[in-house]
Amino acid sequence: RAGLDGKQILCQLKEKARLRTLDGSEEPFSSLGWGRLVPPQALEKLPGAPFKTCAVVASAGAILNSMLGKEIDSHDAVVRFNAAPTESYERDVGRKTTIRIMNSQILTDARHNFSDSPLYRNVSLVAWDPAPYTADLYQWFQSPDYNLFTPYETRRKASPSQHFYVLHPAFIWSLWDVIQSNSQEDIQPNPPSSGFIGIIVMMTLCDEVDVYEYIPSVRQTSLCHYYEGYFDNACTLGAYHPLLYEKTLIRRMSRATEEDLKRKGKATLPGFHTVTC
Ligand code: NCC
């Protein structure tokens, strides 16, 4: 089977992976008053959007000693994931955070202290949770992987001016469908990683997206995260998430030089609205 080229994958994603957040118009959320709970402006209308240049910073240990901080901060918007800090890692990861994309464990696991930690203040937030593939919202609401709904409501009520969105499960699974359709093997029946989700969100919000240390550089290491001493190759290569397949797809769409890829772990992707299909 001849695979699609980078441009064709871009066009497939542009067509199939339409960014969608919960807007409170569907049950059971409409009856719960989420129409008034969610931010009035869509995620695509975030202040400053569409951004010219965006940086997506993967949490990989390999970004340590990269000296990429200044380059990352030079972008108009910077995306980080889960509990990844900037404090004391500025030289390598930068200090600016515009959007933080989090899986539902962050909102529910007391160790992350979502309600009080400064990591989740003064930035826009995007959360997601692995819903059933059918994206049945009733079923999901009754048994989410981690119950993000309650902390979401609490934060929206306490900080109504903070831009905070929950991704629609249909969006997450549309990404999975595109990854599967471009892979030779059956991939894990689990959602893509926050990293992949974040890249696609930013391809919707930006003219150009630079992704750092998602595709491993020459610094590739089994150190899972740059911010803690935990070692596991699965963090880079995948176990639960179809990470290897996601990364192959991003690699195929990247327009970065071989040199940037190797030295910086940098992939460069065009924003969807700049691509003519
Ligand atoms: O590890 P995690 O991801 O927070 O990393 C964010 C994104 O960076 C990319 N990454 C990370 C490490 C690495 N060595 N290489 C990478 O490319 C990935 O794209 C990753 O998505 C997640 O996707 O949400 C994940 O979250 C963690 C964990 O829940 C959070 O860090 C909170 O503690 C998951 N780990 C566990 O559940 C144990 C991880 O599987 C995926």
Could you tell me if the CB of 193 is within 6 A of ligand 1? yes
Residue 276 lies in a domain: no
Domain that holds residue 75: 6-269
Q: Quick check: is 25 in a domain?
A: yes
- Of 230, 33, 28, the residue nearest 137 (C-alpha): 28
| Number of domains into which the chain is organized | 1
pLDDT tens digits along 60-83 = 999 999 999 999 999 999 999 999
Q: What is the 3-state secondary structure (H, E, C) of the chain?
A: CCCCCHHHHHHHHHHHCCCCECCCCCCCCCCCCHHHHCCCCCHHHCCCCCEEEEEEECCEHHHCCCCCHHHHHCCCEEEEECCCCCCCCHHHHCCCCCEEEEEHHHHHCHHHCCCCCHHHCCCEEEEECCCCCCCCHHHHHHCCCCCCHHHHHHHHHHCCCCCEEEECHHHHHHHHHHHHHCCCCCCCCCCCCHHHHHHHHHHHHEEEEEEECCCCCCCCCCEEECCEEEECCHHHHCCCCCHHHHHHHHHHHCCCCHHHHHHHCEEEEECHHHCCC
Residue 104 in any domain: the answer is yes
In a domain, 275, yes or no: no
Above 0.95 for ipTM, yes or no? yes
Ligand 1, atom 22, residue with closest C-alpha? 194
Instruction: From first to last of the 277 residues of the chain, give the pLDDT tens digit.
Output: 468 899 999 999 999 999 999 999 999 999 999 999 999 999 999 999 999 999 999 999 999 999 999 999 999 999 999 999 999 999 999 999 999 999 999 999 999 999 999 999 999 999 999 999 998 999 999 999 999 999 999 999 999 999 999 999 999 999 999 999 999 999 999 999 999 999 999 999 999 999 999 999 999 999 999 999 999 999 999 999 999 999 999 999 999 999 999 999 999 999 999 999 9
Ligand 1 pocket, mutate which of 56, 64, 82, 129 (most atoms under 8 A from CB): 82
* pLDDT one-digit tens code per residue, 192-249: 999 999 999 999 999 999 999 999 999 999 999 999 999 999 999 999 999 999 999 9
Q: For position 231, which CATH number holds?
A: 3.90.1480.20
Residue 274 falls within a domain, yes or no? no
* 22 falls within a domain: yes
- Cα-to-centroid distance, 216 and ligand 1 (Å): 14
